């Protein structure tokens, strides 16, 4: 487990005026699915209650990424084809990647979204336990969400990171720790924890831990003062 340096992250995100909020539809889905009486009709009605999100979800579901044999024009059909957990991931994805293009510095939203969806698919395929395949899909989609938060809300500082990455062989998270005091993984974990996203694990003795794939290098930032906000 890797502990999240919450003090350092809060110092950074405290300077961000527009930190993404968890979608209302996602919160409603979580609440509804806690009931054993929840069914496909209930889930579809919740998503359809927000027309903007519903349109974005349908656009994503009908994209080449999912490769459905025929287009679907209803959320009810989308739930039937993909399942509730994948639909929840689509709601989060539609919300997270819905940012004005002019606010992003140094990265393409379209390319980043396609990459994130690809990682989600790979993560789902790598998991052998059917019970956690959909959770792996969600984790894959959101694994780099911290980069998007930094690119859209702290563009000047993130642009400095990207310029350094282009001329440095070190992993990006090491450069982020050096220049920002935290990595994009820490920022993403902070956001997902604030959302109550189940990708995070929490125990009474270690309430601030983040699941990381075994064998993957984990970002470690020394507990030092954050650089000044420009």
Q: With the C-alpha atoms ordered 174, 177, 182, 188, is the resulting torsion angle positive or negative?
A: negative
pLDDT value for 171: 92
Per-residue pLDDT reduced to its tens digit, 118-145: 898 898 889 888 878 878 888 888 889 8
Give residue 216's pLDDT: 43
Cα angle 164, 170, 171 (rounded to 5 degrees) comes to: 95
Beta bridge partners of 209: 3, 201
Instruction: Count the Cβ atoms, other than its own, within 10 Å of residue 223.
Output: 8
- Residue 44, both tokens: 């579809």
pTM: 0.68
Torsion, CA 65, CA 67, CA 68, CA 73, rounded to 10: 40
Question: Rounded to whole angstroms, how far apart are CA atoms 115 and 120?
Answer: 9
The overall longest dimension of the chain from CA atoms, in Å, is 55
pLDDT at 210: 40
CB within 8 Å of 137: residues ≥ 6 apart? 85, 86, 89, 120, 121, 123, 124
**Alpha-carbon distances of 25 from 34, 58, 61, 106, 220, rounded to whole Å:** 14, 14, 17, 30, 34
pLDDT at 164: 92
Instruction: Say how far apart CA 201 and CA 223 lie, in whole Å.
Output: 22
Q: What is residue 158's predicted lDDT score, i.e. its pLDDT?
A: 87
Q: What is the pLDDT of residue 55?
A: 83
Give the model's pLDDT for residue 220.
60
Per-residue pLDDT at 161: 92
Low-confidence ranges of the chain (pLDDT < 70): 1-6, 10-11, 13-21, 99-106, 197-230
Both tokens of 135, joined, read 């959770």
* Domains of the chain, start order: 1-15+100-230 (1.10.3210.10), 17-98 (no CATH)
- Count other Cβ atoms within 10 Å, centred on residue 91: 25
pLDDT of residue 89: 79
Long-range contacts of 122-126 (CB under 8 A, 24+ apart): none
């Amino acid at each position: 487990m890797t502990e999240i340096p919450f003090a350092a992250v809060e110092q950074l995100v405290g300077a961000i005026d527009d930190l993404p909020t968890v979608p209302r539809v996602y919160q409603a889905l979580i609440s509804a699915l806690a009931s054993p009486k929840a069914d496909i009709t209930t889930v579809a009605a919740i998503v359809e209650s927000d027309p903007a999100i519903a349109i974005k979800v349908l656009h994503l579901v009908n994209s080449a990424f999912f490769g459905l044999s025929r287009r679907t024009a209803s959320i009810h059909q989308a739930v039937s084809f993909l399942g509730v957990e994948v639909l929840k991931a689509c709601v989060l994805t539609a919300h997270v990647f819905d940012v004005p293009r002019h606010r992003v510095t140094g990265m393409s939203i379209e390319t980043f979204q396609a990459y994130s969806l690809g990682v989600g698919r790979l993560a789902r395929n790598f998991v052998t336990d059917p019970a956690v395949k959909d959770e792996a899909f969600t984790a894959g989609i959101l694994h780099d969400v911290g980069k998007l938060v930094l690119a859209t809300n702290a563009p000047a500082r993130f642009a400095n990171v990207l310029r350094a990455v282009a001329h440095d062989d070190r992993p990006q998270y090491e450069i982020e720790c050096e220049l920002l005091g935290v990595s994009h993984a820490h920022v993403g974990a902070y956001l997902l924890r604030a959302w109550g996203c189940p990708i995070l694990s929490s125990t009474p003795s270690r309430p601030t831990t983040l699941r990381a794939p075994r064998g993957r290098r984990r970002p470690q930032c020394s507990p030092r003062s954050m650089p000044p906000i420009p």
